Structure 1
Amino acid sequence: MPGHDPLCGEAAGQRPHRNENGRGAARFAVLLPVLACSWLAARIAAAAETNGAAAATETISFKTIEVIQLSIFAGVMGAALLSAIWLIRERGRTAAQNEELKARVAELSGALSRTEALLNLKDQRLLVWSGSGRPALLGELPDDSGAPRERSTFLAFGRWLMPKSAAALDKAAAALRDTGAGFDLVVETQKGILLEVQGRKSALHSVIRFVSLTAAQTEHARLKLEHERIVADYQGILGLINALDMPFWLRDERGQLKWVNAAYARAVEAESAEAATRESREFLPTAARAALQRHHLNEPVFRDAFSTVVEGDRRVFAITNYAEANRSAGIAVDRSEIEALRREYESTLRSHSDTLDQLTTAVAIFDADQKLKFYNQAFQKLWGLDPAFLESGPENALLLDRLRSENKLAEQPEWRRWKEQLLSAYRSVEAQEHWWHLPDGRTIRVVASPQAKGGVTWVFENLTEKIDLESRYNAIVRVQSETLDNLAEGVAVFGPDGRLRLSNPAFRTLWNIPEKLIGNGDTHISELKAVCDAVAKDSTWGDFVAAVTGFDDERRDRHGRTELVDGKILNYAVVNLPNGQVMLTFVDVTDSVNVERALKERNEALEKADKLKNDFVQHVSYELRSPLTNIIGFTELLALETTGPLTQRQREYVDHIGSSSSLLLTVVNDILDLATVDAGIMELEIGEVQVRPIINAAAQLVADRLREHQITLSIETDEAPESFHADENRVRQILYNLLSNAANYAPEGGRITLSARLNGEAVEFRVHDNGPGIAPDVLASVFKRFEPRSQGGRRRGAGLGLSIVKSFVELHGGTVEIDTGPDKGTAVVCRFPLEPRAVRAAAE
């Protein structure tokens, strides 16, 4: 049928629920092709009515333009038809999806309602985190559970849970949110109600669920908590026992070791406690274990002391073992130190008794029953009592009666009351002091010191000699006072309060102090300062006042000098005395100062003369160098063959001139070096010195001389360091002088040894020759200048070689020693520090 579209019918059949707008659009899409066909037929009929020519033209026009228009119109209509068909199909599909979504929303709404009904039960509560924000709170817990309903209070677990439960829950919740670790806990509220808490995490949410428990679950949870507490206590006890420095062990029903602590493992020298248990290493010896088993047949608790070897030492242990139901536990306490302390205590008591027995002060100790327990020899000697009577331990009252009967105590008007007053020391808490004047003229100081256990220690001090000494002391003080008054040295003693305690006439005379100012004996030092400031040029009395009245923690004595306006010069001393007193002494040294000034002027003149001598030596030495250098140069020139032939005698003369000039140049250089050292202007060029090269260089300088006398040089550097810090030129000069000196005294065909080694923080050079050695009378002056020594030597020099060696070594901060003797030659040892701390400007 025209206008019928099967696709539209199929679509309509598939989607029976289209709306009216959809159907209208479908009808419009069907009518469009019909209208297009009607319009085309009308145009053809109109064209048929025209005439032939016009019809031909119109036909041609219709066939070209109209056909194009018709084709375009048909294409547009076809596209519109297809679009309408696609739109009808999509609208039907969308309507179907909407219906499905409505059914799904209704289903989800029902599921949400059922979930909310389940979550809002009265016996559970949930915390849900969907991100990092605040959690959602769902459900409720029973009112008697102790869980608050308010959100803020509920989230503060510490407010309504027990501290231990709150801490465990906070830690588990943090782990759940951070790492997703689930947990199952049983927590206890402050009302004693148990709750089960479960924590789980999904892809988007973290959930903590609080569930109230039934009676059976509560009992099970309570037993679980109790078990956890018991396990925790058990682990704590085991941890404590394992930390003890006492061997501890547990045995099973077969008597085998079940568990031991670390101290047990150390005692049996096992790698660990597990190894000791696995290897069944026994701590107690076999005899001790057998005694323990026999005791447990009748008694569950065993206590005794045994000795065993631990870490190579035999020690005494107090063993306590408990056995019950075929299980036992034991612990060993090291009593070695206690036994040692007990022995030391007994030794101390004996030493204390021996010490008291050696005292000259009489000591007697009575116990709480007033019986004599100890006395020293001084006590027996003081009273002259029979040792047998004292050893019987008499009572204190009986002892007093015995002394009275033997007329060794002064008779008292009321003896009984006096004795009761004396014996009241046993009821006193403080020491009592008494003075006894004996019939034989002795004076005894008696001190009764109560003891903590009720006894009394009596100390009898014979003060007869002390009183006699005090009288003698007072006499001596009077004599010293008279002596002080007649001293030419001024003396004044001030107390801690600054008041004058003692002074002599010389003090008043030196400072022109009015006698009335000191006569009252209570003058303050500030008053003396006001008077003495006027007679001194630069008064030091301000320092005296500070020394007397100051509060320095460290009291130091001081000395000084002051000058008075009348020309007197006084040396003063501030001396701190005991009890905070200060003594000022003044000595008139006017004459001594004048003599001292004269001596200083003379010393300055001598120093100028010495400086003039040094300048002269330096000037002469430098002036000698130039002609000597010329002489040596011309001598070497004459010795050349190119200069001309020389006779044998002339050549000997030239060689003699050359050797003498070189020797003279060496002496001049040595004198110049010594003058530079003495003047204190020599500076060392400190640098790194290679030990072996510098030894070889010094040996090369004396090689010709050694060959001349067939002397062998041995060099030993195996123990020497690679280098040290010093002046390389001066070290080479030192070694050259030592080798030259050794070559001079070594016999023909002899041997010289040059060795270097590291000695602590120093490098030690040693030059030894097998010559005759140095005589003892010469050894004392071996380092003096211009002391030539030709005994046994080939050449007589200026005597400066060893002096230069000593000066240069001491400039480096080192030392020089000489080891010599008959039949062992001479060895000179020079020690240089590896790192010179301070280079002295001149040798001492």
Structure 2
Amino acid sequence: MTIGEGDVRSKHAAYGRPVLRKLRTLLASASSAMPIVLAASSAAHAQDALGKINTPFGVEVGTFEVVQFAMFLGAMGAALLSAGWLIRERSRIANENRQLRDKVADLNVTVQRNEAMLNLKDQRIIVWEGASSTPNLVGTLPPEIGVPEARALFLAFGRWLQIDSATLLDRSISALREKARPFDIAIETSKGAPLEVQGRTSGGYAIVRFINLGEARAAQALLKTENYQLSEAVGTLRGLLEAVDMPAWHRDGDGRLTWVNMAYAKAVDVRDARTAVSDARELFGSQARERIERDKAANRRFHDQLSTVVGGDRHVFRVTDVAGSAGSAGLAADISEIELIREEFKRTVLNHSDTLDQLNSAVAMFDANRKLQFFNQAFAKLWGLETAFLESSPDNAMLLDRFRSDGILPEQPDWRRWKDQVLAAYHSVESQEHVWYLTDGRTLRVIVNPQPKGGVTWVFENLTEKLELQSRYNTLIKVQGQTLDHLAEGVAVFGSDGKIRLSNPAFASLWSLKREQIAEGLHISAIRRLCEPVSDAAHWETFVTTVTGFDDERQSLSGHIELSTGKILFYATAPLPNGQTMLTFVDVTDSVQVERALKEKNEALERTDELKNDFVQHVSYELRSPLTNIIGFTELLQTPMTGPLNDRQRDYLDHIGTSSSVLLTIVNDILDLATVDAGIMELDISDVSVTDAVTTASEKVAERLKEHNILLDIRIEPGTGSFRADASRVKQVLSNLLSNAANYAPEGSTVTLACRREQAEMVFSVHDSGPGMPDYVLDSIFKRFQPYPNGGRKRGAGLGLSIVKGFVELHGGTVDISSAAGMGTQVTCRFPLEARTFSIAAE
């Protein structure tokens, strides 16, 4: 390639074209100024008609001459300026032309030298200009090394290079052209000749140079190729180790860390791998490292499980560390989850074994070699086998032969064929089911289930009890059916869909229905239409709602329904399992009529009792006033104011006063009982002194006790104090008890009145040594108007103990009586320490 003078001239001409364009612009400006000058000239002529212009030299010059002179001066000045500018530009252009000629000469020398260098025999260059796909080729390579001379064949690298070299070259050229990434590689031709390839970029050019190597350089290239391949392999392996989530490391001959991956850095809790290496952060403890070094010293490798703490938790790693001549490399796989899963699997197997041991069904598992691997206790119990024998892993066929020899399995027409048919499950993929009838009468359901990894699982279910229960169930169903058919109670069972499931003849008879009208599957609405004409429609509406409703909580209903035929039926609904409902009907016409009669009689008795109470209360009130008058006039007659009385009159008045007092006491007792029965008696609660109450009561009966020479023994335990009650009623209770005891106590005997405090109760007891009472009398001793002549000195109205019981219970207490023939009688009254009014009527 050369550069001639024509090229310089063309360049100079190209450079001078802008100068000519500038000149043309100036001339055009001057021509455009001419009309203005002419216009000025015409104006001057017009002024000349008016006068002349005087010059300083005394010469008169006209305006036209002045204009012409000015134009001349302007043209001369423009010409001089243009000439000066053209001279300067020409001088500059001449200097530039000299410089360009010198540069062209230098470039010619350089081009010739480069062509000489590029046309060397032992190298060839490919040049791509920009993104152009067609390159230029310069130079040649010896054809004896397997490099084609033709352009198209040379660019087809895969035809004359080895496969790996062609792949490497294509990848390197693509990186050079697309990413401007330079390269220096060594490749081999298909004949095994090495070539050095260099790739560079310069400006917009991509240049690849192929250089033939000599023997020394060829060996160096081969080493370079091997080094490159080893570097690529090491880089790939390190990239792989960086990608896996397993700590990996490399140590030098002295055992120091030289490289670790990011998984190792994370495991030792550092920011990056470089920090882990610089800080010599160890993954395992000193004892574990010493163990690794011992094994590597003995066997050049270590492979075992080690544990360490990572992230605050203990992890188990499977460590592999291999020693080499220049150091060692190791890899640790975290198997903590695998160990957990293995332990969980063991626990699951044990749990399943324990669960299977609890089953009543016999289970046995055989492996692919038909050896027993597992059995539960039910299996050993079912066949009566020893545990030691089963733990020896007997063969499945041998077990079947033993069952036959022990007489458990029945004889088969062709035993071998039957056994082969049963053991065919080892070659099957589907479960099999058999029924075995043992010689001892047991029936077994046998399920043979093939396992995914070979072997089978045998499940033996004893159906003997199930079949017996099924037979009993069928018998029970028949018995229940016969029982329902002979019940006098009408029964109908409906399903959740409202259709009848079963009914007995009594149901049809009670509702005057035919048997075919209540056939199974008939809906309750159809039965309702048949029964509503003789019954209340509201009841059947309730029955339909109960049977077909969707209530979350199903309730039982019961009641009476009266038919237009005069029958009275007692009905009841009962929810049954599976959404079923049972309706029962019982003919209670006779019992209802009897009940009604009894109610009427009871109401009559209650009215009679009310009349009796009204009569007693009315008579008692009416008797009290005359008795009060009699007592008052008797006491008045006994006073000296009415005059002297003889002895007989005085005796009569004493008898009248005594009898009137007794009658008034009876009337008062009757009134008190009537008040208690009416529930209107109110207690006057206050603090009651036990000593005062006992003293007052004893004074009231002192004359009667003295009259019959009876001693009163009062026993008040220390600390009794007082309690809250109605003082007058307590005294009346004690008086009645002492009076009753004085009436039955023998002459010269002793009556005991004891008082004590027991927890929250005040207890009074009166005991006499009288004849006592038999058991049949004790049952009615508290009934009113029932005195018993069992040794008493006088017969009363029979109200004393009734009043005692009424007053004590009104306080919230209780009364107990204990007596036996010849043992006396003891009455015990218990008052609460804090009494309150109870509206309880005394019996």
Normalised TM-score (structure 1)? 0.49
Larger radius of gyration: 2
Normalised TM-score (structure 2)? 0.49
